[in-house]
Structure 1
Amino acid sequence: MTAGLTDSIKAGRDELQAQLLAVFDRSTKTAPASESVLNSLLGASSYACENGGKRIRPILAQAAASAVSIGDADKPAVHSTSIALELIHTYSLIHDDLPAMDDDDMRRGKPSLHRAYDEATAILVGDGLQARAFELLADAPDLTAEQKVRMIRVLAKASGMEGMVGGQYIDIQAVDSQMTLEELRAMHMLKTGALIRASLALGGIAANATEAQLAALDKYGCHIGLAFQVVDDILDVEGNTETLGKTQGKDAEANKPTYVKLLGLDGAKAEAQHLLQSALDALSGFGESADQLRELARYIVERDR
C-alpha cells in the first residue's frame, strides 16, 4: 500500500490547512487578565490542528459538493463545512488518545496533546473544537436556514451516541472480547464510518444535492468508511510507527478485535478491495464530476499511513 495523494487532493489539503489555522489566529475578546490564559488554550488548539493529517473528511465534503455541481467545492459554505468536519475529527482524536481511552502517546508523528500539554487541557481543547465546529456551520454563508439545520443535525448525530461516541464506547467494551465480523462492521460503521458519511452528506447538502444524489453519496460513504478501518487494521500489523505517525501494533497490544484478527491478513486485504469496488460502483450515476471521489476511494485503500 503505497499510493499517495494526487496533486489535486494535495492542493485541497494545503488550502484547508491554512483555513484551519486561521480559526485560531485571532485575539480573544475577554478581559486583559484572562486573555493570556485563553490565548494559551488557543495555542494548544492550534497544536492539535497544525500537525498534518490526511484531511480526508473535509476533502470528501469538497469532492461531494463538486460531484453534485462542478465548482461548488469553492463555495465559502463548503469551506466552512470542511473546517467544521476537521475540527470534529481532531476533537475525537484528542479524546481517543487520552489515558482513559486508547492511551496513545503519539499522534501524527508528534506527542499527543495530553502529552504535549496535560490531560485537562486536552479535554478542554477537544470540547472547544467540537463547539467551534457547530458555530461554523451555524454561521456558514450562502446557506438557507433549512440547509444549516439539516447539516447541524447530520453532524451532531454522526458525532454522538449514534455515531463516533457510540462506536468508541463499543470499542472500549470490546477489549479482550470476541466479536463476529458483523458486530465488528457495525461498530466501525459508528466509530469511523459515521463521520465519513456525514462529510459526504454535508458536502452534498451545501451543493443542493437531490435526495437520489445524497443516497448515492451515502452508499459510497458506507463502503469507504469500512474500507478505511480495514486498512487501518492492516497497517497496524504491516506499518511502522514512523510512517504511521502513531504507535504501530497498538490494537494487537490492547487485544482489540480487528479485521485482520477475524479474516487474516490476506482476507482483510481482499475485503478492502471488495469495499473499494463497491464504493466505485455506488458512483456509477455520476460522471467525471465524481472523479475526485474515485481517487479518494483508491487512496484510502492503497495508502501506507
Structure 2
Amino acid sequence: MTQNEQTKEHSNDGSFKRQTNRFITPFGDNPGELPIEAGRYRLLWSQACPWAHRSVIVRSVLGLENVISLGTASPIRPHLPHVDWEFSLDEKGVDPVLGIRYMSEIYKKTDPKYSGRPTVPLFVDVQKFEAVNNDYFKLTNYLETTWEPFHGENAPVLYPESLRNQIDALNDVIFHEVNNGVYKCGFAKSQEAYKSAFDTLFARLDKFEEHLSKQRFLFGDFITDSDVRLYVTLVRFDVAYYNGFNANRNLISEFPNLWGYVRDLYQTPGFGDTTDFDAIKKHYHTSITIDPDNTSVKILPKGPDLSGWTKEHNRQLVSGKDEKYLRKLV
C-alpha cells in the first residue's frame, strides 16, 4: 500500500480497517439487479487471495465452471505507485478475455473516479466490459442462491434456508475475528492494536477447536458456506500468517481438531484443487502487500512441510458417518 492508502485503512489507534466494496449491485431477477446469464460474467481472482478463493471454491463445488469464466492474476504485486493486480501469468501479460494488464483498468473503466485499491474477487460483465460486483462478503451467497438454476447435477446445498440466519451470524464472527483477524495482526500500526487483534484471533480459534471436537463441520455432518469461509484462512495460516503476519501463538497443525478439519476440507473436491501453496507463499512473503517501500531482498521460506495435507484426517469418526457429505440436502 502507498502511505495514503495505508492511512485510509487505519484508525487513529493503529488498527486496520478494511476498505468498503465499491460494486455491490446484487445478482437477481428484480429490476436493477444483475441478470443471471451463463457466459455473461468473468470472475477475476488471484490464487493468493483468501477473499477471492472462497468464491472460486463455491463456483467449483456447485459446478459453475462452464457458466462463469475465470481470470487469474499473478500472486506477485506489480511494482507500481499504487497497489494493483497484474495478469502476467497470461500470454502477452493480459487477460485473454478482457485484454487488460492490470486489475485497476477495469475499475477505472467502470468508475473513472475510483480511488480505492482494485480488489479481487471481481465479477466483470463481459458484454458491457464493466466491473459489476466485488462484494466478497456476499458473492458466495449469490452463487449458492440466485445462481441455483445453473448448479450442476446433485450440487450440494451450502446455504440451506433453515440455517441461513445461523450461518450469517457465524460468518460475521469468522470475518471479523479470523478472516480479517489475521490482517488486523499483520497490518497493525501500533503494539496495542496488534495485541488486541492477536488475542481476539486466538480466542476464536480456541473456540473453534473445542466446537470441532464434537462435530465434523461447523454445522454438523455437512459442509456449509461457513466452512468455506473458515477454510480459506486456515489453509493459509501456517504457510503465511503465522510468521508473515505475526499470528504466531500456535500453528494450525498444532490444533488437533482444526488440523484434521482443514485437511478434511482440503481433500474435498473444489477445496484442495483450487489451493496453490506456492502462490500463497510468494504473495505473502515476497510481494509488496505490507511494505512496498522496502527494497531489501525478499526471502521465500523453504518450509513448512506440506506432506501432511494429504494424510488421513479421520474426521468421519467425529460424526460417526463415513459418507459423501457434499450431497444435495433434501
TM-score (norm: length of structure 1): 0.37
| Bigger helix fraction | 1
| Bigger strand fraction | 2
TM-score (norm: length of structure 2): 0.35
